[in-house]
Chain A
Amino acid sequence: MARNGAVTWRRRTEKIESFDLSPSDTEEVHVLAVDDSHVDRKVIERLLRISSCKVTAVDSGRRALQFLGLDEEKESNGLDGLKVDLIITDYCMPGMTGYELLKKIKESSAFREIPVVIMSSENVLARIDRCLEEGAEDFIVKPVKLSDVKRIKDYMTRDFRVGERERGRGINKRKLRDSCDLSLSPPSILSSSSPSSQSQSPSLSPSILSATAPCSPSSLDSPTRRLKMTSSE
């Protein structure tokens, strides 16, 4: 199975073999950022550029698929010359949500190996679980910070060096999340332990969280953000 996500890695080794160590297009990671908010696009673009990534920012899932060449259910390997190494997308978007975009990417044989990171302003466990189960690499609670981008980049680089994708890609995050707020337990317990957030629609669930402003640290702080602070791997 073609591993498009690992192309950058492969290209690097090819270059070394032929003693052509030009760093220009082998080192830089190309990220496709998807967010309908202009403010957020500007911020994520800057965060990525300052982290030495090439960025293409689009305002919808549809445009993201067009950029990848996946529009109109037509798969195409002919990209715009720039391979995409990572896709980072907002969850809540009009039209196609980030979750739907994630599914479309994972359903495509050409692009399913590209790591997808979801961003969301809502810290809803059920949502996080659903995305990780669908194959998302990571889930960032907004507002996105430099440390979030750095963590993703480090994670990506490590994956390339290891040279393979863990099939249960939610495992790392979930395991560390478990150790943060629950004892180590299988995923099924985690999803059933949050019945309240599952039965409520995304717009209602923060009625509990809203009083405590979900974006600021609380006991329900983003699992993935928290694991960043507690794990120093």
Chain B
Amino acid sequence: MLGLAADRLRADMNRLLAFLFHQGILDEQFLQLQQLQDESSPNFVSEVVNIYFHESEKLLRNLRSLLMDREFLDYRKMGNHLNQFMGSSSSIGAKRVRNVCVAFRAASEHNNRAGCLTALELLEHEYCFLKNKLHELFQIQQQRVLATGVRYPM
């Protein structure tokens, strides 16, 4: 019974990962993070990702409040936030989020307010999607731990 549950969970996990890679939501940098997780650092990936979530939500809030300023749009500050967001997204392998940041930054460099608004909405959407999927992934992994005691290799 336990063995079947473990197999099913592993299959679920692999299917989800395959989907995320295939859709370009994650890239090989995420695999690199997984490789850094072991018995000496058993929660490494979720720790990094949680820091990423925390930082990203702050950045998204800042970006939105910059864009809501009717009087003066600080494109330079937006660019700085976007650089940060791009950097951290690339460090965890969040490819699609990163690519939206790139497009967003291009719009801000052209002082294109409408383009920035569109990009921000897309960015928020992509980020939410990523967050949900990663939570799903961590949930499956938690269940795996409970079912088998296996946490790594992932």
Contact = CB atoms under 8 A, between A and B. Distances in A.
Contacts of A189: none
Interface residues of B, number: 33
A50 B36 contact: yes
Interface residues of B, dominant DSSP: helix
B91 A203 contact: no
A213 B89 CA distance: 12
Interface string B68-90: 00000000000110011011101
A161 to B, nearest CB: 28
B36 to A, nearest CB: 5
Contacts of B35: 146
A143 B83 contact: no
A207 B109 contact: yes
A215 B51 contact: no
Contacts of B48: 39, 42-43, 46
B92 interface: yes
Interface in A41-55: 42-43, 46-47, 49-50
B144 interface: no
B52 to A, nearest CB: 5
15 contacts: A40-B91, A43-B33, A46-B41, A92-B87, A121-B83, A121-B86, A143-B32, A143-B93, A145-B32, A146-B35, A203-B109, A207-B106, A210-B106, A215-B98, A216-B27
Interface of A: 37-40, 42-43, 46-47, 49-50, 92, 94, 121, 142-146, 203-204, 206-207, 210-211, 213, 215-216
